Structure 1
Amino acid sequence: MSSTNSEKSAQQGSPAQTPAVKQDNGVREEVQTISGSDADEAELARMGYKQEFVREFTNLSTISFAFSIMGVASSVATTFNTPFLLGGPASVVWCWFLGTFMCFCLGTSIAEIVSAYPTNGGLYSASAYLVPRKYRSIVGWVVGWLNLLGQVAGVASTEFGLAQMIATAANLGHPTWIASAGETYGIFIALLVIHGTLNSVGTKWLAKITQSFVFINLGTVLAIIIALLVTCKEKHSASYVFTSTINGSGWSSEGLVFLLGLLSVQWTMTDYDATAHISEEVKKASIAAPVAIFVAVIGTGCVGWVYNIVYVLCSGDIAQYDGAIYAPAAIIYNNVGAKGFYVLWTGVCLTAFLVVQTALQANARTFHAFSRDHGLPDRGLFAKLAPNKIPIYGVWLVVFISALMGLLNFASYTAVAAIFSLCAIALDTSYVVPIACKLIYRDHPEVMFKAGPFTLGRGILGWAVNLIAIFWTTFVVIVLALPTIRPVDPLNMNYASVVAGGVLLLSLAWYFAGGRKHYHGPRNLVQEEQDARLNAGGAELDATGKAH
């Protein structure tokens, strides 16, 4: 290959074409003949990258990571008020049931793409690979910024939710004390610093501590379910739990009010691709990462449905929760008493803490990947790894941006709540693009999508699951962008759509103003280094980017 053609290939983001690895259609068969870390490195080299991170995440660590990023124990507690106080018990139960089925389709579609492209860029990188060359840069740029926005919003919203959980626990024990905006923000900042510090340790330690996350998460859910069922003396009837509705929003459409409850399940069951963003630290990533996503979506959906039902069953008079920051906290407190509450709520807070821990880890890797491809105006700063193989600059960048988002607390609670919707809107939108591109361009001669070990196949099942994921996500993004309270005023406006649209427009303006001069889609670093060696008269590289 000539130097000119090689540079063009690198700029367009083509998978690596080295003497030991055939492109796309022939790669999978050859990689399967290699075992262990060499196979992972060869798979990564196919996409044009060298192994930089240390692969310490085993199957258990990866599954635990995928479960923890959703954090059902804390995520439901954080968002329960929206369906419960706006739509009523039926909205809680049936929105979760409906959302679980649809999120299963979305998660499965994402898992298939992650299996085919196991790189830290995740769906950002995959979206660029799944379109013809002339579209790679613009598609990768838009999806990259949407995904980054959604991930940072996820870190900020979960961390802020945890700060409020801690403040709520203190308030229940000391009713005369109510945390001010400044005090809540102080807790929020302290937690961010702790998470930034923990995410600065090596991958080996991150993998070890992550193994326990799934047990803490599901154990907390099980403990709360058992405690409420045993201690609650006046449980609601099945009719109340499954059919009772209210209209706490002011919207005239009862159906719309009911669907506003989707925020809880969509916010909980999102960030599926977080596991993809650590795939360069996962052993056998093309299998382990998608399987972890698949298992976590099913597990979170089923466990979360029972968890929601029990909260409603033991809730008592719904009127008493009007104005409560977290109805689940009051439900637990009213039924199990103060001592039991603090034990169980500690588990909920710890789960939220672990959600942020995993979300921050994934987010930092995404900034690393985007910077590596020249998608950031940072001269490669956030693509640099510390001696312990951690993208340390990316970690603290996420902490800094999240801290800025938390300042919305001084504006109004509604402004902060918009971050929750923003997380789901931005991430879900970034998911739809690569799924749609895969269906449209999978047989294009410049794409030729090659499925990984985890695949839906090309039959009717694969088409059905992918189409459901696309149409459902498009629909739910519209619902989540709507104001939850009518009449709408500056204090209760849902600003999520405004922020997401603003970031999208600014990123596009930046792209056409100068970003496209530096960003050409995922880079082919293996080929670039190969060309540099050949031009200098050095040795060629093998499939893993090693000289020979």
Structure 2
Amino acid sequence: MSSEEKDDKKVVVEESDASVFNLSDDDDKELVALGYKPSFKREFTNLATISFAFSIMGLCSSIATTFNTPLTLGGPASVVWCWILGACMCFTLGASIAEIVSAYPTCGGLYTASAQLVPKNYRATVGWLVGWLNILGQIAGISSTEFGLANMIMAAANVGRDGEFVITPGKVVGLFAGLLVVHGLLNSLATRWLAKLTQGFVFVNLGTTFAIIITLLAKTPRAEMHPAKYVFGSDGVVNQTTGWPTGLAFLFGLLSVQWTMTDYDATAHISEEVKRAAYAAPSAIFIAVIGTGLIGWLLNIVVILCSGPLEALQVSASGSAFLDILVLRVGKNGALAIWAFVCLTAFFVVQTALQAASRTVYAFSRDHGLPDAGYFGKNNKRTLTPLRAIWFTTFVSILPGLLDLASPIAANAIFSLTAMALDMSYIVPIFCRRIFANHPDVNFKPGPFFMGHGWLGLACNITCISWTVFITIIFSLPFVRPVTANTMNYSSVITVGVIVLAYLWYFAAAHNHYTGPQSNLHDSKVEAVTQDYENKKANPEDHS
């Protein structure tokens, strides 16, 4: 058999695994060139990938979950202006992330990319930081979204029984844990079924959002709509409960948009399951960020426009101002019918978030970043998905929700923690890419999604780094003064605590087995396949 004929055959990379790659498949060759054996089936189409990217943000369900925060802390105008301010900043972060994901399409996402963007002697310490921040943020994201969904279902039960249903922490946490187990079971499906399930999420998500917008505008009498000064102006700035200056209280409204528009790199974590990943994954991220930002702003404007008296929303028995507005305008039955789809959208968020987080745990374990001897870095040979990592992630995600049994304030800090930890894990590789751009050990090769070498990419990078530092400070502050044990914002304490403990462990023992994101192929095989791929990229006419 000639060498040309062999190139068209599937090559087993490592006999101890079910992994195979095809030398005629650019996705697999790109992955092998980065040093990793293909271990997943590429079943996610362009539609499924875009749907995944939209679903991870949630849009209407994420806004509904966090709507009380900007409304009660900064007032109606905070809901509207903080959203578009944060969304514009998120555009720069989303574009910067998409650029790196396009260059390094692996399930480790920005964690794996971080090793390629720094000199060799920094790879372990930087990879360790990005890995732990990213896992912490994703776990917090799963937990906070599922916790929000449990509260949304409880709010519906309260409304359905005309306020007679008593919501207790025990009921919320019990439902929260049960829902996470259901998501663990669904995520245990093979990639083919996950892709089929995911591709319909975007239609429910966007369909529900536009249904809410149209219904509220149609059912709200013109005379009862709030004036522009209430929606956009000074009449909508209300600071009655925080104890902080009004300007700072207004900025607390950023929590909604930053919590909604985060986990951008979730699509990167399924890139080893995506067809034409270097194109599809970053494109899906960018489309979803733009779409969520603009449509979310429209939704917030309409909800505030039709919201009714602010005093009634602040003393709501259901605990959800968003649901109360729907009840006010379309009645109990109509509101609960719409709310069922909002809850379904939140269900989709957790489904996609758990899939992404489990792939991150898989990648980190594969690189020996966990004290598990690579146990969670293995795929099930039947489903070709990381079942061990899926169930580990599921059970660990239950732990933050248990905080509600001790303190609702501590539980709510998980929402801030999500945005802080994830966004910090994003700006580290973005910062490193710029700082070490001319270092001989660093060779950043742009992917298909690239903002160029000029001012545009640099401006986006500087803006998103500066913005993330700013919101990290904002989200570290307690939302209410005076500060007591019951009003303390524990998000910064948890974030710093996890990172300090992680580095203590690293310097005490983990540095012996963790050297940063690393190849799981034999060097000779990596070299042969990489050279073949680079030759074909450099001289495509010789291999036509």
2:306 pairs with one of 303, 314, 330: 314
Map of 2:172 onto structure 1: 184
- For the 8 Å contact 2:116–2:443, the answer to whether it is kept is no
Q: Which runs of 5+ in 2 are unaligned?
A: 1-6, 8-20, 534-544
1:297 pairs with one of 280, 289, 292: 289
Aligned-residue offset at 1:251: 3.5
Map of 1:287 onto structure 2: 279
Q: Report Cα offsets for 1:5-30 as digits up to 9, x if no partner.
A: xxxxxxxxxxxxxxx9xxxxxxxxxx
- In the TM superposition, 1:22-421 aligns within 5 A as 38-174=25-161, 175-233=163-221, 234-243=224-233, 244-324=236-316, 325-386=319-380, 387-421=382-416
Counterpart CA distance in 2 for 1:543 and 1:436 is: 28
Counterpart CA distance in 2 for 1:300 and 1:141 is: 31
Aligned-residue offset at 1:545: 11
- For the 8 Å contact 1:37–1:283, the answer to whether it is kept is no
Counterpart CA distance in 1 for 2:247 and 2:268 is: 36
Secondary structure class of the residue paired with 2:509: helix
TM, length-normalised to structure 1: 0.90
Identity of aligned residues (%): 58
- For the 8 Å contact 1:45–1:545, the answer to whether it is kept is no
Counterpart CA distance in 1 for 2:521 and 2:397 is: 34
2:495 paired with 1:500: yes
Aligned-residue offset at 1:406: 1.1
Q: Which runs of 5+ in 1 are unaligned?
A: 1-19, 21-33, 532-539
Counterpart CA distance in 2 for 1:288 and 1:35 is: 19
Distance of aligned partners of 1:36 and 1:205 in 2 relative to their CA distance in 1, 3 Å threshold: farther
Which amino acid letter does the alignment assign opposite residue 314 of structure 1?
Answer: C
| Count of paired positions | 506
Aligned-residue offset at 1:250: 2.9
Between 36-45 and 465-474, the greater mean CA deviation after superposition: 36-45
Secondary structure class of the residue paired with 1:447: coil
Secondary structure class of the residue paired with 2:522: helix
Aligned-residue offset at 1:72: 0.3
Aligned-residue offset at 1:527: 3.5
Distance of aligned partners of 1:527 and 1:447 in 2 relative to their CA distance in 1, 3 Å threshold: farther
Q: Report Cα offsets for 1:164-205 as digits up to 9, x if no partner.
A: 000000001111111211111111111011100000000000
Which amino acid letter does the alignment assign opposite residue 493 of structure 1?
Answer: M
Which amino acid letter does the alignment assign opposite residue 486 of structure 1?
Answer: R
Distance of aligned partners of 1:161 and 1:455 in 2 relative to their CA distance in 1, 3 Å threshold: same
Which amino acid letter does the alignment assign opposite residue 360 of structure 1?
Answer: L
Q: Report Cα offsets for 1:131-150 as digits up to 9, x if no partner.
A: 00000000000110000000
Counterpart CA distance in 2 for 1:70 and 1:428 is: 14
Counterpart CA distance in 2 for 1:440 and 1:79 is: 36
Which amino acid letter does the alignment assign opposite residue 389 of structure 1?
Answer: L
2:424 paired with 1:429: yes
2:512 paired with 1:517: yes
- For the 8 Å contact 2:32–2:529, the answer to whether it is kept is no
Aligned-residue offset at 1:307: 0.5
Map of 2:437 onto structure 1: 442
- For the 8 Å contact 2:244–2:480, the answer to whether it is kept is no
Between 422-431 and 244-253, the greater mean CA deviation after superposition: 244-253
Secondary structure class of the residue paired with 2:144: helix
- For the 8 Å contact 1:249–1:257, the answer to whether it is kept is no
Counterpart CA distance in 1 for 2:260 and 2:348 is: 14
Which amino acid letter does the alignment assign opposite residue 288 of structure 1?
Answer: A
2:452 paired with 1:457: yes
TM, length-normalised to structure 2: 0.91
Secondary structure class of the residue paired with 2:229: helix
Between 440-449 and 430-439, the greater mean CA deviation after superposition: 440-449
CA RMSD of aligned residues (A): 1.7
Counterpart CA distance in 1 for 2:339 and 2:280 is: 32
Counterpart CA distance in 2 for 1:265 and 1:510 is: 34
Q: Report Cα offsets for 1:283-323 as digits up to 9, x if no partner.
A: 11111000000000000000000100111111111011224
